[in-house]
Amino acid sequence: MTAPLMTPTPGPAGPAVLVLEDGTVHRGQAFGAVGETLGEAVFCTAMTGYQETLTDPSYDRQIVIATAPQIGNTGWNDSDGESRPGAGSVASGPNSGGGRIWVAGYAVRNPTRRVSSWRATRSLQDELASQEVVGIAGIDTRAVVRRLRDHGSMRAGVFSGDALAADAELLDRVRAQPGMAGRNLIGEVSTPDTYTIEPVMSSGAEPAFTVVAVDLGIKTNTPRMFAQRGMRVHVVPSTVTFDEVRDLNPDGFFLSNGPGDPATAEREVALTREVLGAGLPLFGICLGNQLLGRALGLGTYKMKFGHRGINIPVVEDATGRISITAQNHGFALEGERGSEFDTPFGRGRVSHVCANDGTVEGVELLDGRAFSVQYHPEAAAGPHDAAYLFDRFASVMGGDVQ
């Protein structure tokens, strides 16, 4: 099949600026919507998967700087979005395909001039504009990334069109916004209603297990990974109570990824402790890892610039196994590789660490009934090295506690 070529609809021509809270200013051209957006500037090292990145709810309130020099050559399609079903875009209304863009803004060096993919239905430029996402192109993203790497993620803003003003005024707007530390964003991204993903199985067969998954910013591929293993998944709001969880009669409990500071998630930590106290098997990823860690008594902290990419090596302490993983987090658990500690629910330990910097990447109870990882085993986008964790959870629910 010959890949269709399409040319993005030209956006409104005009200058744009990216302003960091330390006073650094980068000048380029408007990309996507024109206007003003504020957020925390972070960088993502992924060479592919920009659609999954932009629709990941964990990027809520963040301006993403793409390190890959050319972005947009595969366009935009109706299949790869990672927003929950029904999360409508600002402009387009409800989108059952999971295509809502959650990032606050997008900064790229060289947006492609032509889209070439048989799956593309429109261009990235057109989608950003239709969802009113303000972006900037034509800047030296290497310089921005080096600034963030050396000085840490910081508040920022992208301005174009009528939002442009003197640099000093734009800097005041950037500095007036709250930082990411201390912000609870779970309520902005969580589903308001429970919905169910049925398992993929032969007609007439019963689900192998039932899982209750708390939506803290869940990506669409996560319940799909459970369903592919014959599990029925009830995705519930972050406000769910333990009694409501128990009424669904689950075999296991799942804590998803999500945005914001885990130190603010008191209600979710309390729910996690209730689940642990009831002995229900538990699996968590990303923010879910931090919530399990907090429930077990560990503290959290804000990282200098976080981990955002799809090629980050993680070491499993017990086996020495290394997985190349997809990650998106700016906070982490306190702890060291292999350290053990007492919890109200039995002995716990740090199970995984990042091979690059020693950051905690997983915790577990020694009896095996609860475990979590900081990375994204659903691999959307990213490598599939960690997909076995879904099988491990199935084994725990089946009574094969390791």
Q: Is 32 annotated as a binding residue?
A: no
At position 38, the amino acid (one-letter code) is L
* Six token digits for residue 308: 């955002």
- The Cα–Cα gap between 392 and 142 comes to 39
At position 331, the amino acid (one-letter code) is F
Coil vs helix vs strand at 197: strand
Catalytic member of 234, 307, 329, 376: 376
Q: Are 310 and 383 in contact (CB under 8 A)?
A: yes
Cα–Cα separations (whole angstroms), residue 401 to 226, 389, 397: 18, 13, 8
* 121 φ, ψ (degrees, to nearest 5): -115, -15
286 as an active site residue: the answer is yes
Catalytic member of 36, 361, 364, 378: 378
Catalytic member of 127, 286, 329, 364: 286
> Is omega for the bond preceding 381 within 30 degrees of 0, making it cis?
yes
Q: Is 290 annotated as a binding residue?
A: yes
For residue 228, the number of C-alpha atoms closer than 13 Å in the C-beta half-sphere is 11
Q: Is 202 annotated as a binding residue?
A: no
364 as an active site residue: the answer is no
Q: Is 258 annotated as a binding residue?
A: yes
376 as an active site residue: the answer is yes
- Helix 287-295 to helix 266-278 angle, to the nearest 10 degrees? 70
Q: Is 260 annotated as a binding residue?
A: yes
- Residues belonging to the binding site are 58, 258, 260, 287, 290, 328, 330-331
Give the catalytic positions in this structure. 286, 376, 378
Binding residues for L-glutamine: 58, 258, 260, 287, 290, 328, 330-331
